[in-house]
A = this chain, B = another copy of it.
Amino acid sequence: MAVGRTQQAARNNDVILAAARDVFLADKRAPISAVAERAGVGISALYRRYAGKDDLLRTLCQDGLRHFIAEAERAGAIDDGWDAFEAFLRGVVDADVHSLTVHLAGTFTPDEQLAADAVRANALAVALFERARPRMRAGATAADITMLLEMCAAVRVPDTERTRELRRRYVTVLLDGLRAGGELPGPAPAVGELTWRWNPGQPTKTQNR
């Protein structure tokens, strides 16, 4: 039952990644020491695996993107267009994947692998949206998905499981609101308005005028 050093090390791989996910999900600006503490390991164990904070966050984001893609592919297999879209959205919200991808933007420097995954993820999401569009209210756009996910990610209480419950509640409101009602007001989000976080400008500030 006593595990060897190498096995323990291998296990730490997962423990650390899980801890990092928990910590950065809760607060994307969390210090790296919080990850080590939560994982129950020293800081060295972290730096043995990742070149730095950037590297860890990038790995986490890539992991999130893979989940996103997997979720989209699984939902894509559903026959009915709307059901597929709904399953996709609920799956992504349930896994809190948004907090691991878009939300982490700006906290680390991107990557080509990451960019490629992002393109693929986006294509899948757009496809799912298009299949559901016939039953959606007028004016809805695939670009709206990002914003809807952003809104769901904003629902947060201290307890993780309770957060999930509450998000299921409000994603229901959003989904029903996407079908009911007339034409959506205001121009839909443009592409550039969804990716501004990646811009080289100031970190998390916002500018007016």
Contact = CB atoms under 8 A, between A and B. Distances in A.
Interface of A: 22, 25-27, 30, 34, 137, 144, 147-148, 150-160, 162, 165-166, 168-170, 172-181, 184-189, 193, 196, 204-209
A162 B206 contact: no
Contacts of A153: 154
Please report whether the interface of chain A is mostly helix, strand, loop or mixed according to DSSP.
helix
B169 A184 contact: yes
B157 A154 contact: no
Contacts of A187: 165
Nearest to A193: B157
A196 B158 contact: yes
Contact of A156 (B30, B166, B206): B206
A189 B189 CA distance: 30
B179 A166 contact: no
A197 to B, nearest CB: 10
Contact of A207 (B158, B206, B208): B158
Report, nearest first, the 6 A-B pairs whose CB atoms are least far apart.
A177-B177, A154-B154, A26-B206, A176-B181, A173-B177, A180-B180
Copies of this chain, whole number: 2
Contacts of A151: 151-152, 154-155, 170
9 contacts: A26-B205, A26-B207, A147-B166, A151-B151, A151-B154, A151-B170, A169-B188, A173-B184, A176-B180
A34 B202 CA distance: 13
A185 B206 contact: no
Given A151-B154, A180-B180, 9 more contacts: A27-B205, A27-B206, A148-B170, A153-B154, A157-B189, A158-B207, A168-B185, A172-B184, A177-B180
Given A22-B208, A179-B180, A206-B26, A170 B158 contact: no
Contacts of A147: 155, 166, 170
A206 B158 CA distance: 5
